[in-house]
Structure 1
Amino acid sequence: MTKSTIEKTTLGATGPSVGRLGLGAMGMSGMYGTADDAESIATIHAALDSGADLIDTGDFYGSGHNEALIGRAIADRRREDIRLSVKFGVLRGPGGTWGGVDNRPVALRNFLTYTLQRLGVDYVDIYRPARLDPAVPIEDTVGAIAELVEAGYVRHIGLSEVGAETLRRAAAVHPIADLQIEYSLVSRGLEAEVLPVARELGIGITAYGVLSRGLLSDTVRARGSFGADDFRAHSPRFQGENLTRNLRLVDALAKIAAAKDVSVAQLAIAWVLTRGADIVPIIGARRTQRWTEALGALDIRLDADELASIEAAVPADQVAGERYAAAQMEMLDSER
């Protein structure tokens, strides 16, 4: 696949033009077990060389490791060819402990200063709070980022995992380019209210978790356990009977994929791509072969009957387990 074959879309009514697939870098900093920096950088290069331009990170991924890694990877690339999406606000302690969320204006200005240094750039394309801070009105957070837009340090404002009411309040302060939120065959909660409101307000969707952390692929079906440093070792959907029930759904999806001579992951990505040009899947690849596999989804065409078969094979109400553990679910404004 060459650059010319990757379709572009605009994030919302006011956001940047980006490729139809983005690269999520979180897994390159240890969230799913040990990662290899050299292979991670090769994956970033493969994504950029394929015509993708959106790279998503968070300043708390690997406590800064992820941004520094991306900075190394893009050091010899033209800045104008890359769209950097950065999440902030999650507080970490030594050893990776969780310290809550801080979206105060004074804090986010500090966070951005360090982000720019680690990335080796003088602006980020999209800046967003990773989670809603219940102690800080969203108007204050968005207003502070708007000042950074005015100053040239940020190009666009995004949000992450917020609900419809918060979207409306934020958009009343400054145009919002996109909402980053989990969306896949097994995580379809945004369809009822959040997605319609986002579309009403001209806000694009960058969809993460489109493979549900590997559940919607051929890899989890072939393994029996996860290391203690793997997010999935603590995720409800990957535990005991929940995993058994969910893998039955994946087996049904695999039969459809086999009939089309594609992988389960490719079919799952292709399904998300059918949901609208305003939805950009963020693929959490950390190896070049996984990115190459994801690119194949762009060539898959699904007709109405095939879409019906896919959704019948994986009914949203048959998925076992929440997408996060209880404490993390409590932090999702999008789930309230």
Structure 2
Amino acid sequence: MPSRRRVLSALALSAASLALAQPIRLARAADAATVLQSRPIPSTGELLPVIGMGSSGSFDVGASPAERDPLREVLRRFFAAGASLIDTAPGYGRAEAVIGELLAETNLRQKAFLATKIGAVGREAGLAQFRRSLELLKTDKVELLQVHSLQDWKTQIALIGELKAQGKTRYTGVTHWQDSGHDELAEVVRAVRPDFLQVNYSVISRSAEAKVFPLARELGVAVLVNRAFDDGRLFSRVKDKALPGWAAEAGIDSWAQAFLRFALSHPAVTAVIPATGKPDRQSDNLKAGSGPTLTEAQRQSLIELLA
């Protein structure tokens, strides 16, 4: 028979183990509380979570723990919620290298839907840039390869087609980030019919609704939305303003969620890619990926509120 002291010691150890495990369980429960919706990529039917992540600015950091630790947590929360799409580019400073290093050290590459871009003039320059991107991202292929802001698009979309045939990317895409580029973007999409297009869209920048979105639906092209916060201008417009009365009913408890849900409520949109380097903002953004689609009345309410 075990001694009373040994029994009490065992009980104490068990209690301590349960106490240590409790925060882990609570963290996992919080991660699981955000169940992201997914939408099909029209060209294949593959499901893509509606909240992705950009990296411009947010992942252009150094190697110090103070700079990297928040990004590790940003990625942890992102993947724990079931998200996968990370969008980057050679033009985003050190972002590709930082993403590659963090995914490698956390062994999370297999969970990522990596999207990068070619922003170069000439085939050889484009190919060299892509090879460098693979090196920095520490991978042998990406899921989506896009022409950055339509730069030398005829040359680069042909190159991306070749790389797709070689298995270096699964999807082709073209991007733009300004209203002034939407007419050309629409022309290019009609000419080459990529798998994806990426475009700016927000409550106060709705130019994409005129040509780009209808064309994407007509041709079966997936749409990624960048600048859904309009580079932060939306937040300055609602400073000190309360959320609309219908927000709670829609499961929205922050302005970030409202703005992302606005973008996602357009039927042409496949996913939004807000950029952040802050874990709490990542969690907030991810919450926008669940709940009902905004009604037309709710969308109009936001438009009028920010007019």
* TM interval, short-chain normalised: 0.7 to 0.9
How much has 1:268 moved relative to structure 2?
Answer: 0.9
Greater C-alpha Rg: 2
Amino acid at match of 2:158: G
Equivalent residue, structure 2, for 1:126 = 144
TM-score by length of 2: 0.77
- Is the CA contact 2:147–2:175 (under 8 Å) kept in the aligned structure 1? yes
Q: 1:107 to 1:15 in 2, by over 3 A?
A: farther
How much has 1:19 moved relative to structure 2?
Answer: 0.6
Amino acid at match of 1:148: L
Q: What is the distance in 1 between the residues matched to 2:279 and 2:268?
A: 25
How much has 1:314 moved relative to structure 2?
Answer: 2.2
Q: What is the distance in 2 between the residues matched to 1:298 and 1:125?
A: 21
Q: What is the distance in 2 between the residues matched to 1:13 and 1:253?
A: 41
Amino acid at match of 1:42: E
Q: What is the distance in 2 between the residues matched to 1:299 and 1:170?
A: 30
Equivalent residue, structure 2, for 1:212 = 230
Q: What is the distance in 1 between the residues matched to 2:297 and 2:149?
A: 37
- Is the CA contact 1:164–1:197 (under 8 Å) kept in the aligned structure 2? no
Equivalent residue, structure 2, for 1:152 = 167
Q: Greater CA deviation, 252-261 or 119-128?
A: 252-261
- Is the CA contact 1:254–1:263 (under 8 Å) kept in the aligned structure 2? no
Equivalent residue, structure 2, for 1:236 = none
* Superimposed CA distance per residue, residues 164-223 of structure 1 (whole angstroms, 9 cap, x where no aligned partner): 5554545544x5121111111011111111111121111111001111222333xxx4xx
- Is the CA contact 1:68–1:118 (under 8 Å) kept in the aligned structure 2? yes
Q: What is the distance in 1 between the residues matched to 2:280 and 2:98?
A: 19
How much has 1:120 moved relative to structure 2?
Answer: 0.5
* Superimposed CA distance per residue, residues 124-151 of structure 1 (whole angstroms, 9 cap, x where no aligned partner): 1111121223xx4x33321111111111
- The 3-state SS of whatever aligns with 1:52 is coil
Q: What is the distance in 2 between the residues matched to 1:103 and 1:282?
A: 26
Q: What is the distance in 2 between the residues matched to 1:277 and 1:253?
A: 29
Equivalent residue, structure 2, for 1:93 = none
Is residue 69 of structure 1 aligned with residue 98 of structure 2? Answer: yes
Q: Greater CA deviation, 35-44 or 67-76?
A: 35-44
Equivalent residue, structure 1, for 2:155 = 140
Q: What is the distance in 2 between the residues matched to 1:51 and 1:160?
A: 25
Amino acid at match of 1:256: P
Q: 1:212 to 1:278 in 2, by over 3 A?
A: closer
Q: Identify the match of residue 244 of structure 2 among 233, 256, 272.
A: 256
- The 3-state SS of whatever aligns with 1:216 is helix
Q: What is the distance in 2 between the residues matched to 1:6 and 1:118?
A: 29
Equivalent residue, structure 2, for 1:58 = 89
Equivalent residue, structure 2, for 1:310 = 302
- The 3-state SS of whatever aligns with 1:157 is strand
Q: What is the distance in 1 between the residues matched to 2:129 and 2:247?
A: 48
Q: What is the distance in 2 between the residues matched to 1:103 and 1:15?
A: 32
Amino acid at match of 1:2: A
Q: What is the distance in 2 between the residues matched to 1:166 and 1:270?
A: 24
- Is the CA contact 1:59–1:86 (under 8 Å) kept in the aligned structure 2? yes
Amino acid at match of 2:169: V
Q: 1:120 to 1:199 in 2, by over 3 A?
A: same
Q: 1:204 to 1:277 in 2, by over 3 A?
A: same
Q: 1:258 to 1:73 in 2, by over 3 A?
A: farther
- The 3-state SS of whatever aligns with 2:53 is strand
How many residue pairs get aligned? The number is 265
Q: 1:254 to 1:284 in 2, by over 3 A?
A: farther
Equivalent residue, structure 1, for 2:285 = 294
Unaligned runs of 5+ in 1: 90-101, 222-246, 316-336
Q: 1:259 to 1:14 in 2, by over 3 A?
A: closer
Q: What is the distance in 2 between the residues matched to 1:19 and 1:60?
A: 25
Amino acid at match of 1:8: S
TM-score by length of 1: 0.71
| CA RMSD after TM alignment | 2.7
How much has 1:15 moved relative to structure 2?
Answer: 7.3
Q: What is the distance in 2 between the residues matched to 1:304 and 1:165?
A: 28
Equivalent residue, structure 2, for 1:202 = 220
Calculate percent identity across the aligned residue pairs.
26
Q: 1:163 to 1:311 in 2, by over 3 A?
A: closer
